[in-house]
Amino acid sequence: MGKLFGIAQATKGGLGFASKQLPGGVCVQAVAVVNAFGDVVDPHTGKVIAGARLSPASVQFAGTAERMYAGHVGPGFGATHTTLVVVMTSAQLDKLQATKVAQMAHDGLARAINPVHTQWDGDLVFALSVGKKRAEISSLGTAAAEVTADAIVRAVETAQGLGGVPSCQELRGWEDKTG
């Protein structure tokens, strides 16, 4: 996450899962693979939890969008960023309904990644239906956006650092030691 200043100041992405049970027994789940250009934000607090850091040794996040507004633009680590999400439901959906659920689930990306859908990202959401239960599509899509955002947050919260790129958990540990 947060590759504005290159990989040395980024935070590790990962794989996350979230699920929500709706009244009537319909289940909506999301699996997210997160390697975004932008920062991951906790949608409940608005706080950046993974992203571009002020320096390679810093635990403080730079705020990618604000830095871009100030004129620092362009990928610091190539144009190879993406967040891929699969939304699955036990509701019965036809092709148009699945498309609508996937469209609405994209809102979850915007809730949890800032900036999202940049020219350096290849973000994509798929929707799958594996059930026979009936569900109101707008409610289902709203739940799909929620579990998408939650899966993105969990992806960075459960990631492990790799190759010198620290995870969200590691940065929290560093912060505890320094401050």
Per residue in 142-158, pLDDT (tens digit) is 999 999 999 999 999 99
Task: Determine which helix (DSSP H) or strand (DSSP E) holds 139, and give its type and residue range.
Answer: helix 137-157
Number of domains in the chain: 1
Q: Decide if 96 is inside a domain.
A: yes
Query: In this structure, how many other beta carbons lie within 10 angstroms of the beta carbon of residue 25?
Result: 11
Domain region containing 19: 7-178
Q: Decide if 1 is inside a domain.
A: no
pLDDT of 179 reads 52
Burial 167-176 (b: 16+ CB within 10 A, else e): bbbbbeeeee
For range 43-56, the mean pLDDT: 94
Any idea what the CATH number is for the domain that residue 34 is in?
Answer: 3.60.70.12
Say yes or no to pLDDT of 93 above 70: yes
Q: Decide if 163 is inside a domain.
A: yes
pLDDT of 1 reads 85
Q: Decide if 2 is inside a domain.
A: no
Say yes or no to pLDDT of 68 above 80: yes
On whether the CB atoms of residues 4 and 62 are closer than 8 A, the answer is yes
Q: Decide if 78 is inside a domain.
A: yes
Say yes or no to pLDDT of 66 above 60: yes
**Span between the terminal Cα atoms of the chain, in Å:** 23
Say yes or no to pLDDT of 74 above 90: no
- Residue 79 banded pLDDT, cuts 50, 70, 90: low
Q: Decide if 60 is inside a domain.
A: yes
